[in-house]
Every structure is written in C-alpha cells, then in structure tokens.
Amino acid sequence: MGYFKKIKLFNYRNFTYFENDFSERCNVLFGENGSGKTNILEAISLFGKGRGFRKDNISNIIKFKEESFINYGYFYNQEIINEIKVSSEKNQKNFKKKMSLNSDTSRDSINYLHSLFSFISFFPEMERLFLLSPKYRRNFIDNLIFSRKKNYNTLVNKYKKLITERNKVLNSQFNENMWLEKLEQDIANSGIEIYLERESQLEILNKQLALLAKRKKHSYNIKVEILDIFIKEDMNLDYYSHSLKQSRLEDKLVGGAKIGPHKSDIFCKISDDISASQLSTGQQKTLVLLLILAQCNYLVEECKLSPILLMDEVCSHLDEKNRWILLQLTKDFNLQIFMTGTDKNLFSFLSTNTKFYNIRN
C-alpha cells in the first residue's frame, strides 16, 4: 500500500509554510474553522490529476499577495519515497498547474505518478446528496469511476468540449452540415461510452452493497440506478446521432444539448419503495458512507487498489450507524485516510492507531 509520508506547502492558500508527517493509516486534522484543514486535504488531492477536489482556478490557490505556490508530497510506495512537486506556472495572464515526479516532468513520469494512487472524497454537502442537483449526483458517481479508471476524466472533458463546439457551429453563420454530422457522431460515441461506464459503476455498487449486507456490514436493501428518459436498451450510434440532429433547432435556441449523459440523474431507493430523498440528513449520510464503503471494498478486493480517502468535516450528523461505518473504513481496509473536524473529541470512537494533528493558522 502506498501512502503520503509527508507534505510541504509554500505560499499555498492560508499557509506561508506548512509541513507535516502522516501515518500510513488514519489521520485526523482538527482545529478551529478557518485554520486550513480543508486546504490541506485539497493540497493532497492536487498531487493527483486535475485541479484538486475543489476544482478551483490555480490563481485562487496562491496565497494572497504572493506570485506562486509550490507544494511537495513524499509518497511511499514499494519501499521507495517518491517526491511529487506541484506548483503554479504563469502563462501570459493565466496560471496552470505544473507537476514533476522525482524532478522528472516527462509525460511517462507523470502518467506513472497518476497510476500510483487515487482519491475518494467526502464533503459536508454530501449529507444532502439526494436533495442536491442531479449534476452533483452525476459528479459523485463520476468521481467513483475515476477512482478505478484514470482516463475517465479525459472522456468526460472530451464530451463537454464536443457539446460546446457543436453549439458554436449551430450558432454560426457558416453552419456546415457535414461538420455538424461529424460532431454529432463524436458526441454520440463519447456519450454512449459515458452511459456504459456509469451503468457499470452502478452495477459495481449494487453488487458490493449486497455483498456487504450478507456480511452484516449494513442492514439496508439499497439499489442505485440511472434516471434518463433518453436511455434505451438497444442504444446505438445511429439512434443517438439522429436524435441529436432532430434537436438542432431547440439546442440552438436553448444552448447545449437536450439529450445525453449530462442530463442523467442518479436515483437511490431503500427497500424497493423509499426514495433516498425522503430520508433525514443523517440517513442520507449513512447511504453516502455505505456507497464509499462499497467502492473501497471493490477497489481493494477486486482491483487490488488502495484509494486514499479524504473526508472533510465528516463528524456532523454522526449517529451510531455512521460512526460504525467510519470505524469499518479504518479497520477493514489497509488504507490511508484523512479526516477533518473542529474538535479532537469528535473522533474518540476511532481506533488507537489513529494519529491526531492540531492545525493552527
């Protein structure tokens, strides 16, 4: 199992300088609101692909009045400590993220870096996951897919760019039919692939939830499914492309595309007749934690992967069931976990192997 042994942050968010060693198992960061606990989790997530779990602009990550930030992560894997460097680089007026692994910035080195670990995150707003917008639920499932399939974000980004390009062509004076047809074929190809990946992910979750129920890890009959009026069993490229062609006028007026995986919703029900949206905040949190538990079970047991869990302000609405699930995550799997909270005592239910760090601004 790989884990982050140490991080160093320079001119990052609220920190001029921050350095800390971590345990390979459960790490709890506690301190007052505004001390920078979530910023530390974000810094760790930035060592992976993308702009971190906040997906913020790189310019916003740099400490106020400073010109750049530099973060270092020391990742222990197979008896080797790898130095990961993440920094900001200004390109004309914009900033971009720059990475290196052991001072090597080559594509092969960065691709190897991305293969070393993946993240699964929990945020406070997930306590109301099934009351939030469909986009939030799609992102939750997409992030679980990304934890097992590193090139999935490339597919999603490609799909979004194709939708944007088609919209530009639809609103252009030079509306070339052949180019539109090509774009719509590419959108259909990417869209079908996203549908299949999401369906596969929900099958994984439903299977793992059933397995965990048999092992008496929970007592719920949970089923997660996709809601999308466009999906059909014999979905194919021609049907998808033709449907896009039929919606050109409406899409030109409204923008985007009226059909596709960006319109899907994720539906969760309990005992065949209770929608997750009807549950209390604490019960919805239980479901989300069980989904994370199911994904960890799949990654560890079937994929032989050890995701790193980043769980921000996880102790609100923490009833006995939710404490028990968090305890299972720390005990059942050989994972590195980071949790944040305002008070050390909130985590007293965790095992004695947990390491605590008081974060002060």
Alpha helices in 149-280 (DSSP H): 152-170, 177-214, 237-246, 248-254
Instruction: Supply the pLDDT for residue 217.
Output: 82
The arithmetic mean of pLDDT across residues 262-275, rounded, is 92
Q: What six digits make up the tokens of 76?
A: 């222990």
Equal CATH topology for 1-117+312-361 and 125-305: no
Q: Report helix, strand or coil for 71.
A: strand
pLDDT above 70 covers a percentage of the chain that reads 100
Complete DSSP assignment for 273-307:
TEEGGGS-HHHHHHHHHHHHHHHHHHHHHTS---P
CATH number of 125-305: 1.20.1050.90
Rounded Cα distance between 282 and 345, Å, is: 19
Q: Which residue has the tokens 């009045």?
A: 65
Euclidean distance between CA atoms 11 and 78, whole angstroms: 31
pLDDT tens profile 312-355: 999 988 889 899 999 989 988 889 999 999 999 999 999 778 99
Rounded to an integer, what distance in angstroms lies between the CA atom of residue 355 and that of residue 24? 10
Does residue 175 have a pLDDT over 80? no
Domain residue ranges of the chain, discontinuous segments joined by +: 1-117+312-361, 125-305
Does pLDDT of 173 surpass 80? no
Q: What is the pTM of this model?
A: 0.94
Domain 1-117+312-361 annotated CATH 3.40.50.300: yes
Structure tokens at 295: 């994904």
